[in-house]
């Protein structure tokens, strides 16, 4: 099993930059959360953001989503400054955020209907079914969220996000609440869907193995307050990735040690 072990080179061939953070600072009252973030995300890239809790990684995602504005600096999507949330940057929340009074189908339909009001009803219904089938929920369309498991709920949330065909998919620790097996299943499904849809992904995680398995680049944040991007790991493994092959690759452990060393020695959490 031979994989290249170039560590420092950029992951995929450089294409158009879709999402850029330029000198972004975010302050809440007296508290400086983010201090001078510079990051360019390329079209179709899979980025994982990793860091201790309180390092402002959620703030970074909220800035990209448009829920909050930078105190100084700019976040741009295709050159346009982001000023408010929009369906071109769909968010998958950690706690699923499904509406419990709507069925699985209706939850996804609500999104499709809101984003594509001009499409005809059969077309919208077909889109909903397509994306629910994509995440393997074709059978559970008429169930309500309280009747399904956590893993299934997160699948619905992912289907809802993908069904509106966003340019950027923002995931906030989407698998944090799931058991290990479900988590691995969903990681593989997410990769498969991502490679098919070609959208750009920005995902927060606190799981190093998850980041190494999924990402083209892993952004490692320093501890807050005044968090910065401490280091960026380029993950060179070829795609499609298989977990087994990754674990046999010595460079996997190299990268893993770099991440561990960053998180637990250079920027060990004061509370850990």
Partner 1 sequence: MVTAPSPRFRPIPWQEWRQRYAPQVIPPVVGIVGFLLVWQVLSVTGITRLPAPSALLTDENTRNLLLNPFFDRGGLDKGLFWQTMASLTRVVKGYLGAAVVGISLGILVGVNPIVNQALDPLFQFLRMIAPLAWVPITLIALPNVQTAAIFVIFITAVWPILINTAVGVQQIPQDYKNVAMVLQISPRKYFFKILLPAALPYIFTGLRIAIGLAWLAIIAAEIVMSGVVGIGFFIWDAYQQNYVSEVILAVIYIGAVGLILDRLVAWAQRLIVPQQ
- Residue 90 in the binding site for partner 1 (CB under 8 A): yes
Q: Cβ neighbours of residue 233 under 8 Å, at least 6 residues apart?
A: 7, 217, 218, 220, 255, 258, 259
Choices 19-27, 78-86, 227-235, 244-252; region in contact with partner 1 by CB under 8 A:
78-86
Q: Using CB under 8 A, pick the residue from 79, 84, 122, 238 that binds partner 1.
A: 84
52-81: string of b/e by CB count within 10 Å (b at 16+)?
bebbbbbbbbbbbbbeeebeebebebeeee
Among 100, 136, 138, 240, binds partner 1 (CB under 8 A): 100
Task: Name residues contacting partner 1, limited to 184-213 (CB under 8 A).
Answer: none
**Nearer Cβ to partner 1, position 91 or 229?**
91
Distance CA 216, CA 233 (A): 8
Do residues 222 and 265 make contact, with C-beta atoms less than 8 angstroms apart? no
Closest approach of Cβ 239 to partner 1, in Å? Answer: 28
Give 99's contacts (C-beta < 8 A, 6+ positions apart): 106, 107, 110, 145
Q: Assess 95 for contact with partner 1 (CB under 8 A).
A: yes
- Name the nearest CA neighbour of 111 among 57, 156, 76, 64: 156
Count of residues that bind partner 1 according to CB under 8 A: 24
Other Cβ atoms less than 10 A from the Cβ of 237: the count is 20
The residue from 110, 177, 191, 234 that contacts partner 1 (CB under 8 A) is 110
Identify which range of 29-37, 83-91, 196-204, 260-268 contacts partner 1 by CB under 8 A: 83-91
Of 12, 54, 73, 87, the one binding partner 1 by CB under 8 A: 87
182 binds partner 1 (CB under 8 A): no
> Which of the residues 37 through 76 are near partner 1 (CB under 8 A)?
65, 67
Is residue 138 involved in binding partner 1 (CB under 8 A)?
A: no
Choice from 7, 14, 31, 99 touching partner 1 (CB under 8 A): 99
SS3 category, 245: helix
C-alpha distances out from residue 104 to 139, 140, 143, 154, 235, Å: 10, 7, 6, 11, 35
Q: Where along the sequence are the contacts to partner 1 (CB under 8 A)?
A: 65, 67, 84-87, 89-91, 93, 95, 97, 99-102, 110-111, 113-115, 144, 146, 164
């Amino acid at each position: 099993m031979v994989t290249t072990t170039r560590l420092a080179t950029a992951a995929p061939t450089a294409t158009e930059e879709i999402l850029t953070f330029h000198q972004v600072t975010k302050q809440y009252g007296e508290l400086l959360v983010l201090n001078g973030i510079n990051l360019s995300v390329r079209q179709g890239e899979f980025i994982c953001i990793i860091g201790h809790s309180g390092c402002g990684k959620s703030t970074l995602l909220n800035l990209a989503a448009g829920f909050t504005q930078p105190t100084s600096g700019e976040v741009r999507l295709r050159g346009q400054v982001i000023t408010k949330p929009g369906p071109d940057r769909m968010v998958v929340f950690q706690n699923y955020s499904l509406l419990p009074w709507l069925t699985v189908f209706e939850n996804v339909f609500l999104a499709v209907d809101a984003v594509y009001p001009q499409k005809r009803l059969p077309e919208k219904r077909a889109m909903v079914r397509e994306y629910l089938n994509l995440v393997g929920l074709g059978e559970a369309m008429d169930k309500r969220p309280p009747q399904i498991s956590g893993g299934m709920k997160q699948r619905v949330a992912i289907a809802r996000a993908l069904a509106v065909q966003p340019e950027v998919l923002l995931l906030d620790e989407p698998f944090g609440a799931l058991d290990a097996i479900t988590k691995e299943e969903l990681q593989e499904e997410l990769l498969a869907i991502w490679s098919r849809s070609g959208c750009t992904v920005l995902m927060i995680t606190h799981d190093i193995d998850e980041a190494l398995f999924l990402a083209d680049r892993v952004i490692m944040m320093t501890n807050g307050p005044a968090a910065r991007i401490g280091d960026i790991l380029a993950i060179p493994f070829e795609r499609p990735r298989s977990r087994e092959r990754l674990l046999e690759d010595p460079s996997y452990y190299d990268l893993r040690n770099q991440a561990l060393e960053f998180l637990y020695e250079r920027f060990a959490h004061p509370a850990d």
